[in-house]
Structure 1
Amino acid sequence: MPIAQPYSLLIRNAAQVLTLVGPPPDKPLAGAAMSEWRIIDLGYVACYGGSIAAVGPMHELDEALIGPDTRIIEATGRVVMPGLVECHTHLVFGGNRADEFQRKLQGESYLDILASGGGILSTVRKTRAASDEELLAQALHHLKGFRHYGVTTLETKTGYGLDKPTELRLLRVARQAGQRQPVRIVNTFLGAHVPGPEYKGRPADYLAYLAAEVLPEVQGAAEFVDVFCEEGAFGVADARRYLQRARDLGFKLKIHAEQLHDLGGCLMAAELGATSVDHCDYLTPEGAAHVAAAGQGRTVAVLLPLVPMFLRQAQYAPGRQFVDAGLPVAISTDFNPGSCPSKNLWLALQVACLKMGLTPREALAAVTLNAAWAIDRQQDCGSLEPGKRADVLLLHVPDYRELPYWLGENPVAQVVIGGEVV
């Protein structure tokens, strides 16, 4: 039924409205569907309060619903699309690792840096030493940067405390950051990033500690539980037991897997009903088909193309083959201080096209609707549909095909979150 009240916000005369609406309604976009969603030429998006009220071509716009208080944004010559969904970040941490980056450029290996006390454990030390106020200030700074690139919903993982007090602090700081600015925050507990320094050489004992003493206290503060399944972190069997315990406690599941080796972590997590499997650089096309089947088309592969680029690695996830195998694909930055200190999700989209074989339309689906599925927010973001949250971007370009072309540029002209221009 049409809304009786006038629209509160109207974005009209857009050169293209990228709706991201397409079948199927009950699963992420996969295969051919990743590029078959609807584009409206010369269209509009109307909002009422914090929700989308109507989307369509200009000739269908009901002028009677434009009132004296309707805010009108002219989008002539511009693309209008859903807000970006950032589905894999490590937002809250202390300090940075610019000094280690310099050492890498001068030829030191990661293992050399790790042996000297660097790597993730250097961030753990800085994070444990930082005050809540320092962590919050830095998180808010980074969220401002994400808004600048058009991110309107963001998942953040813990994982730089590696002990109960600090991990709980990271969840609390992330929640506070979400309350102080408009980007919506989704919390994931990644206490199982690597074994805490107090558990060096005892990964199974560390996971048992997390399962017994930390996960029960995380309930209500985090929606997802994640684990890094990789050589040097946690093996497949231990990770399975840990994720099963998390699932029994009511958490949704994620996994870092197949980043450096093909261990089978992605398939294991999909068999447990994981919402997403992340990294996947060493997941084979055959493995992708098995993950798609085990996850019944609902487990999303979150690809992180800026990580191998920043680490100067040759291996990128074979995204083209994943799509062809029917595995739903999303794209994220993996913003973190060690392997991707970038908030530019547009650059991740562009590198996914250049190095992973995605088409522009597939890549756009991967940073919007499929990214929403990867954090279980598909019901209210990721596409422009009546009833969803009014998260909308106006871009400087007139055609979506320019988005992966202007390498490194930020195309965002205006950001609307929850019906408010921010």
Structure 2
Amino acid sequence: MDFWITNLSGLFDGYNFTKGPINIEVSDGKIINITKNKINHKSIDGSGKILSHPFVDGHTHLIFAGNRFNELSQKLNGLTYSQILESGGGIHKTVKQTRDASDEELLHLVMNRLDLMLQQGTLNVEIKTGYGLSTSEEIRLLKIINQANQLHQIDISPTFAAAHVYPNDISPKDYVNEIIDEMIPYVANHNLATSTDVFCDKGAFTIDDTLTIFDQSQHYKLPIKVHAEEIAYTGIAKIASKKYDMLSADHLLHAKQDDFETLSSNNVVAMFMPTATLGLFTKSYPQGFKNTNVDIGLGTDFNPNNWTTSMQTVIRMAVYLYKLSPINAMKAATIGSYKSIYGHSQEKLTINSKATFILIRSNNLSEFVSKIDQNLITDVYKDGKLLFQKN
């Protein structure tokens, strides 16, 4: 199918923003022309819209059943995330609800959540396990994620994250042994995941257990990610990025400039999830990264504690809470998050690139960021095919 989109207000190619009017031509699933010259062909009117790389959600916990809405009142009454977890709530509550759900129910939930993400302009999503906390349940979750990848138009990257918290029904030592002796070999040998993630923090996995799991992951050639410096400072981001071939260190609310410098020198993406900060009722935001060259990525961190499907919201919160510029927030939500998933840079939207893009109803990036509560995505294209259009 051949078509033109004309009079665009701007083009965000993943790296730079070019002010319009701009016209693009699509043919056989690729962009074959980008010009500011006047076009006399029949075209789709792009007036008042930006053509952009689709968003890449680099950190989610999308596969779970149930909810934890009741915990909001507990937080408002002064309980912390860690206190709720220690009392058997938090992740432990979601594990029980997820174990009780059928494969069909979990797949239905994942597909519905992906639909919402696509309508918000997202076409790549990383999905972590972590609400099974046993060999059979974690493998079940990975198989459902892989099934969703076959069925949905969004490209999905499954992450093995059984090391979310220590389960209540087995000792920490035995559970770590189960992860390294049973889970990781099975996951790697059956190509069920593209990476491993460990939640190393206060109330979660210790540094020693984290490194033990990473040693086995590296042995089986599973790329590594880490939840780091979110609840408290442990130093794991710096320790792990020096030792392993890592994709990303995520959250980093308590990380220091030296940590970001280490991530940068080891080519590790610093992943920020600003909406998760709201769910923690914390005023701790990443500090020191602006004075480094570290690559930044963004994710929704969709989970029962942070019910966010919109990367638009994440971009806006990254600007208002973390003080990223609009252009840097857009880069983080596209090429930065992409690198955190795939380990290499995403191609620029240019002539001969795939016609995979979104249209945003805004004249410039500052307008897009300023309209905090609005879904401004009007069209989503993948390989030149229209997947979604707002009525």
* Partner Cα separation in structure 2 for residue 163 and residue 418 of structure 1: 39
Q: Which residue of 1 aligns with 2:309?
A: 343
Matched, 1:329 2:296: yes
Deviations 1:279-312 (A, max 9, x none): 011111122112212x1xx211000111111221
Q: Which residue of 2 aligns with 1:178?
A: 149
Give the structure-2-normalised TM-score: 0.92
* Partner Cα separation in structure 1 for residue 25 and residue 126 of structure 2: 27
Deviations 1:203-241 (A, max 9, x none): x43222111101111120101111111122122232122
Coordinate RMSD, CA, aligned: 2.1
Counterpart secondary structure, 2:169:
helix
State whether residues 40 and 57 of structure 1, in contact with CA within 8 Å, keep that contact through their aligned partners in structure 2. Answer: no
**How high is the sequence identity, in percent, across the aligned residues?**
28
* Partner Cα separation in structure 2 for residue 18 and residue 398 of structure 1: 12
* Partner Cα separation in structure 2 for residue 237 and residue 115 of structure 1: 21
State whether residues 332 and 345 of structure 1, in contact with CA within 8 Å, keep that contact through their aligned partners in structure 2. Answer: yes
State whether residues 31 and 354 of structure 2, in contact with CA within 8 Å, keep that contact through their aligned partners in structure 1. Answer: no
Q: Which residue of 2 aligns with 1:229?
A: 200
In the alignment, residue 393 of structure 1 is paired with which amino acid?
Answer: I
Displacement of 1:386 in angstroms is 4.0
- Greater Cα shift, 372-381 or 304-313: 372-381
* Partner Cα separation in structure 2 for residue 40 and residue 111 of structure 1: 47
* Partner Cα separation in structure 2 for residue 84 and residue 330 of structure 1: 11
Paired residue total: 384
Q: Which residue of 1 aligns with 2:27?
A: 48
State whether residues 380 and 387 of structure 1, in contact with CA within 8 Å, keep that contact through their aligned partners in structure 2. Answer: no
Following superposition of structure 1 onto structure 2, how do residues 15-414 of structure 1 map, counting pairs within 5 Å? 15-21=9-15, 37-50=16-29, 52-54=30-32, 56-59=34-37, 72-200=43-171, 202=172, 204-219=173-188, 220-271=191-242, 272-293=244-265, 295=266, 298-318=267-287, 321-338=288-305, 340-376=306-342, 378=344, 383-414=348-379
Displacement of 1:55 in angstroms is 5.1
State whether residues 359 and 379 of structure 2, in contact with CA within 8 Å, keep that contact through their aligned partners in structure 1. Answer: yes
Deviations 1:345-381 (A, max 9, x none): 1111111111211111110100011111111175656
Deviations 1:24-75 (A, max 9, x none): xxxxxxxxxxxxx25252223333334x3335233297x8xx7xxxx94321
* Partner Cα separation in structure 2 for residue 55 and residue 363 of structure 1: 27
Deviations 1:60-112 (A, max 9, x none): 97x8xx7xxxx943211211101000000011101111122233334444455
Matched, 1:11 2:5: yes
Instruction: From the superposition, tell whether residues 386 and 56 of structure 1 become closer, same or farther in structure 2 (CA, over 3 Å).
Output: closer
In the alignment, residue 57 of structure 1 is paired with which amino acid?
Answer: T
* Partner Cα separation in structure 1 for residue 270 and residue 105 of structure 2: 33
Deviations 1:6-32 (A, max 9, x none): x634322211011124xxxxxxxxxxx
Give the structure-1-normalised TM-score: 0.86
* Partner Cα separation in structure 1 for residue 290 and residue 338 of structure 2: 17
Counterpart secondary structure, 1:98:
coil
* Partner Cα separation in structure 1 for residue 83 and residue 54 of structure 2: 41
In the alignment, residue 282 of structure 1 is paired with which amino acid?
Answer: H
Which ranges in structure 2 are unaligned for 5 or more consecutive residues?
A: none
Instruction: From the superposition, tell whether residues 188 and 174 of structure 1 become closer, same or farther in structure 2 (CA, over 3 Å).
Output: same
Q: Which residue of 2 aligns with 1:25?
A: none
Counterpart secondary structure, 2:370:
coil
Instruction: From the superposition, tell whether residues 187 and 46 of structure 1 become closer, same or farther in structure 2 (CA, over 3 Å).
Output: farther
